[in-house]
Amino acid sequence: MIDVPARPYPYLLDPRHTALVVIDMQRDFIEKGGFGDSLGNDVARLEAIIPTVAGLIALFRKQSWLVIHTREAHRPDLSDCPPSKIRRGNPSLKIGEAGAMGRLLVRGEPGNQIVDDLAPIDGEIVIDKPGKGMFWATGLDGPLAERGITHLVFAGVTTEVCVQTSMREANDRGFECLLVEDATESYFAEFKAAAIEMIVAQGGIVGWVAPLGALEKAVAEAGAHV
Ligand code: C5J
């Protein structure tokens, strides 16, 4: 086990059974002209974490640990998108409508791709999820069970929506979850801070939180691959 300094107390990472989950680092949320922008958000806040997320992915690739990428994505006919979700927020452009990077939150469209700097490579899992959580209607339980994954490290956007929902879903399934706090971001600084406090409260009711530097240092001290 690798002992990672974390809140609310050290996180024990099992190197043979750990995967990284990078949530929704797709152009729809991070670039101007996408879904996040259409809802009136400042997307620059999210763009700023790309180098840290890249560093985290590099750490996992160097160890040959599994990397999973998710995208919030709907089928082109929107049959997996409830009308309530399309209506929500009264955005200037709705899910499925054409924006600057193609149809918003639709599979295969340019805006639905993960940003270039974090692009998946062969051997990594890419999950299209119609909801906020990564287990809902994705079939992800199967691949994780097949690989014996018991520990999940989380990054991505947005902290209080898809990251927190996915982490809660994973926690309920028995995974030991760590959120890398400088590799996640929200359009709202106060929501990110609150989500982190909710995760670590009550003895880590949802899981643990640590910065990338603490994880890198712990892995370097523990192993030969770094
Ligand atoms: C949102 C997400 N915020 N990936 N999606 O709608 O958090």
Segment 106-147, tens digit of pLDDT? 999 999 999 999 999 999 999 999 999 999 999 999 999 999
Residue 35 confidence (pLDDT): 87
- Model confidence band, residue 89 (pLDDT cutoffs 50, 70, 90): confident
Parallel/antiparallel/unpaired status of strands 2-4 and 11-13: antiparallel
| Token pair recorded at residue 149 | 């994954």
DSSP SS3 for 3: strand
At 143 the pLDDT is 97
Structure pTM?
0.96
Q: What is the DSSP letter of 22?
A: E
For 145-196, write each residue's pLDDT tens digit: 999 999 999 999 999 999 999 999 999 999 999 999 999 999 999 999 999 9
CB 101 within 8 A of CB 68: no
Tens of pLDDT, residues 18-43: 999 999 999 999 999 888 998 889 99
- pLDDT value of position 100: 92
Q: What does the alpha-carbon distance between residue 199 and residue 140 come to, in Å, rounded to a whole number?
A: 22
Residue 219 confidence class, pLDDT cut points 50, 70, 90: very high
Burial class from Cβ neighbours inside 10 Å (0-12, 13-18, 19+) for residue 56 reads buried
Q: Atom of ligand 1 at shortest distance to CA of 158?
A: 7
Q: Tell me, what's the pLDDT at 224?
A: 42
- Top-confidence residue, 223 or 67: 67
Please give the distance, rounded to the nearest whole angstrom, from the Cα atom of residue 159 to the centre of ligand 1: 8
Given this model, what pLDDT does residue 226 score? 40
Cα separation, 33 vs 46, in Å, equals 14
Ligand 1, atom 5: closest residue by C-alpha: 162
Of the pLDDT bands very low, low, confident and very high (cuts 50, 70, 90), residue 88 is confident
Contacts of 150 (CB under 8 A, 6+ apart): 14, 17, 18, 174, 175, 176
Ligand 1 atom closest to 187 (CA): 3
Cα(19)–Cα(134) distance, integer angstroms: 14
- Farthest CA pair distance, the chain: 52
Residue 201: pLDDT over 50 = yes
Interval between CA 180 and ligand 1 midpoint (Å): 17
* DSSP run (H or E) holding 86: helix 83-87
Distance 226 CA to ligand 1 centre (A): 33
- The set of protein residues with a Cβ atom below 6 angstroms from ligand 1 is 24, 29, 72, 157-158, 161-162
Q: What is the pLDDT averaged over residues 57-64?
A: 97
pLDDT of 18 reads 98
Return the structure tokens found at 155: 């990054």
pLDDT more than 70, % of the chain: 99
State which H helix or E strand residue 11 sits in.
Answer: strand 11-13
Q: Is 36 exposed, middle or buried (0-12, 13-18, 19+ CB in 10 A)?
A: buried
Helix axes of 212-222 and 50-63: crossing angle, nearest 10 degrees: 20
User: Which is more confidently placed, 76 or 226?
Assistant: 76
